[in-house]
Amino acid sequence: MEPAVPPVPVALREPTHQVSPRAVTYWRLVAGITTAVVWVVLGLVVLLWSDRPWWFTVPALVVALLLLAWTLVMPSFRFRVHRWEVTDDAVHTRSGWLTVEERIAPLSRVQTVDSTQGPIMRMFSLRSLTVTTASAAGPLTIDCLDAELARRLVADLTAITAATQDDAT
């Protein structure tokens, strides 16, 4: 009897759709707000802490410069990585910018489909879509879709999952 040959893994293609190009500006604005808040706090510490140790300045400058670099660089990298696709069988997402995560959820496992839009996202007409499944890994999220596209996806995924006979567990 010959030993069983393990199956050859099928190459997984990347999801086809990018998020909205407006996501870059949105992510840059949110990162800029974070950077500005930290800079204000650091500035207040420098102004108000008169007997601060001499070495405080170096880490404060490093943090300030790293946050500036993060604000300028991260949004473009994140846009290049973030992708999504909904097929007849599954929802496939890829996200991250330092650590890249790919997730695939069969439509038969989808339990809920949610859409969120905060006030800054509303300014850019963006929405995030969250697909909750019976997976221990948690929900799949597609950040920064065009708001109208996100509404259509919610409706389509809800209709598809409602028509599925399985119980999504």
Which residue ranges in the chain fall short of pLDDT 50?
A: none
pLDDT of residue 93: 94
pLDDT of residue 135: 79
Report the alpha-carbon distance of residue 157 to residue 131 in Å, rounded. 9
Residue 92: alpha-carbon gap to chain centroid: 13
For the segment 20-56, what is each residue's pLDDT rounded down to a tens digit?
A: 999 999 999 999 999 999 999 988 988 888 888 888 8
Q: What are phi and psi of 106, to 5 degrees?
A: -60, 140
pTM higher than the cut 0.85: no
Beta-carbon neighbour count of residue 132 at 10 Å?
Answer: 17
pLDDT of residue 8: 59
pLDDT of residue 128: 96
pLDDT of residue 81: 93
Residue by residue, what is the 3-state secondary structure of the chain?
CCCCCCCCCCCCCCCCEECCCHHHHHHHHHHHHHHHHHHHHHHHHHHHCCCCCHHHHHHHHHHHHHHHHHHHHHHHHHHHHCEEEECCCEEEEEECCCCCEEEEEEHHHEEEEEEECCHHHHHCCEEEEEEEECCCCCCEEEEEEEHHHHHHHHHHHHHHHHHCCCCCC
pLDDT of residue 96: 85
Among 6, 15, 167, 9, CA closest to 90: 15
pLDDT of residue 136: 79
pLDDT of residue 166: 60
Among 35, 39, 98, CA closest to 72: 35
Tokens standing for residue 16? 């086809």
